[in-house]
Amino acid sequence: MNDFLPAALLEKVSPSHSQAIPYYREVGQECQLFEFAFQRGLPLLIKGPTGCGKTRFVAHMAARLERPLITVACHDDLSAADLVGRHLIGDGETIWSDGPLTRSVREGGICYLDEIVEARKDTTVVLHPLTDDRRVLPIERTGELLQAPSEFMLVASYNPGYQNLLKNLKPSTRQRFVAIEFSYPQAEIETDIIVQESGIDRACAQTLVAIAQAFRRLQHYHLEESASTRLLIYAAKLMLAGLTPRAACHFALAQPLSDEASTIAALLEVIHLHFAS
pLDDT-derived band at 11 (thresholds 50, 70, 90) equals very low
CATH code where residue 89 lies: 3.40.50.300
Domain boundary among 166, 181, 196: 181
| Statement to judge: residues 55 and 143 lie in one domain | yes
| Statement to judge: residues 267 and 159 lie in one domain | no
Answer whether residue 6 is part of any domain.
no
- What would the pLDDT profile of 91-134 be if each residue is shown by its tens digit? 778 889 999 999 999 999 999 999 998 888 778 889 999 999 99
- What would the pLDDT profile of 200-220 be if each residue is shown by its tens digit? 999 999 999 999 999 988 866
| Statement to judge: residues 173 and 207 lie in one domain | no
| Statement to judge: residues 167 and 216 lie in one domain | no
| Statement to judge: residues 270 and 193 lie in one domain | yes
Burial class of residue 173 (count of CB atoms within 10 Å of its CB; 0-12, 13-18, 19+)? buried
Rounded CA Rg of the chain? 21
The answer to whether residues 270 and 227 touch, using CB atoms and an 8 Å cutoff, is: no
- DSSP code at position 146: E
pLDDT-derived band at 15 (thresholds 50, 70, 90) equals very low
Q: Residue 181 pairs with which residues in a beta bridge?
A: 47
Answer whether residue 2 is part of any domain.
no
| Statement to judge: residues 234 and 136 lie in one domain | no
| Statement to judge: residues 56 and 175 lie in one domain | yes
| Statement to judge: residues 138 and 193 lie in one domain | no
Answer whether residue 48 is part of any domain.
yes
Residue 2, pLDDT score? 42
Domain boundaries, position 234: 187-274
Closest CA to 65 of 2, 116, 115, 108: 108
Answer whether residue 220 is part of any domain.
yes
Residue 163, pLDDT score? 55
- What would the pLDDT profile of 236-268 be if each residue is shown by its tens digit? 999 999 999 999 999 999 999 999 999 999 999
Angstrom distance (rounded) from CA 198 to CA 245: 14
Number of domains forming the structure of the chain = 2
Angstrom distance (rounded) from CA 56 to CA 49: 13
